[in-house]
Amino acid sequence: MTTSVHQHFFHIALVALLAGCASDPVDYNTYKSPVNTTQSPPPPNPYISVKPKRPFQPRYRPLSNTSNYSSYSPNGDYVNNSSVRDFIQRMTDKHGFSESYLNGLFAKACRLDSVIRLESPAPSTGPTKSRIGSWTRYRNKFLTPDHIRNGVEFWHENAATIQKASQTYGVDPEYIVGIIGVETYFGRNIGKTCVFDALTTLSFDTYRRSKYFMSELENFLLMTREEGYEPREPVGSWAGAMGLGQFMPSSFRKLAIDFDHDGRRDLWHAEDAIGSVAHYFSKNGWEYKNPVAQEVDDNYDPSIIELSTYEGDEYWRVYHNFKVIKRYNNSNKYAMAVHQLAQAIKQQY
């Protein structure tokens, strides 16, 4: 029965992948969680499979890196792109990739117009959104009854792994859960964009951060070779972030770990994702059981940040661990959302 379920998901994923060039990726950065706790859960992601009675243990199983890209059509989106040819030559000279393999791979790459729009939005012509209440609006995306309830369930489902990761890397368990909750709603919103297509589009069809994304594309191809991933199989966000913890390829190569010891770092699986988030925090200097933030009455100190609510400004004294969270995303609102979600889940766990 389990084998047939996995085969079913594989066929769905394959159909979705083949249709990928004609489909726009979903911008999960604008995802708003349902507030009504009686609402039905989101439909299952066809790119991940769920173990029976383990709804929070998705595992994405890419094919091994055996596809033959040596023969290809000369009509792909990037076949005659000089920048792509230069990139292929660099990957061949620097990392020993087969030129014919990369030519065939990039011939199958799809230019994603929606990714271009998301990376290069048109200038706003309307009134600027008021700063007043900016923290309230941001917090309300993540501090919902559903986020807290699902965070508690995720912790229960993965209790042994979370405890092991906490003890191994010296990271408070609620913050491992909090990061995964803010990043992907505990694995429900890992993204469904072909990472290779997204990074290729961002590298060669956008300008603001093209050098950064070209470096991530380089790391992605090295990652697929090192881990045995078929490069057109991994799915993620429109910006190329992957798995439950949304690691970019460079972070994947440096900080992802094979926490379940199955021979592959698989951040689409909860166990490896949990261990990798804890490892990420540890490598960035997390201090176990030390404070993160504390609300105060004024802002007369450099260690105090100001957050705007509709009821007035909040002042928070932030500590070293708050800055560690910001290494994940350099935003005070992001780090505070992780902190408050982590604490809310811990209180109900």
Bridge partners of 236, per DSSP, are: 193, 242
Helix (H, G, I), strand (E, B) or coil at 258: coil
Query: What is the distance between the alpha carbons of residues 308 and 62, in angstroms, rounded to a whole number?
Result: 43
**Active-site residue 295, yes or no?**
no
Helix (H) / strand (E) element for 317: namely: strand 312-318
Residue among 342, 343, 349, 334 nearest 138 (CA): 334
Query: What is the distance between the alpha carbons of residues 347 and 154, in angstroms, rounded to a whole number?
Result: 14
Question: 119, 174, 183, 227: which is the annotated catalytic residue?
Answer: 183
Q: Which residue has the tokens 């379920």?
A: 5
Contacts made by residues 7-15, CB under 8 angstroms, sequence distance 24+: 9/46, 9/48, 9/49, 10/61, 12/46, 13/46, 13/47, 13/233
Catalytic machinery residues: 183
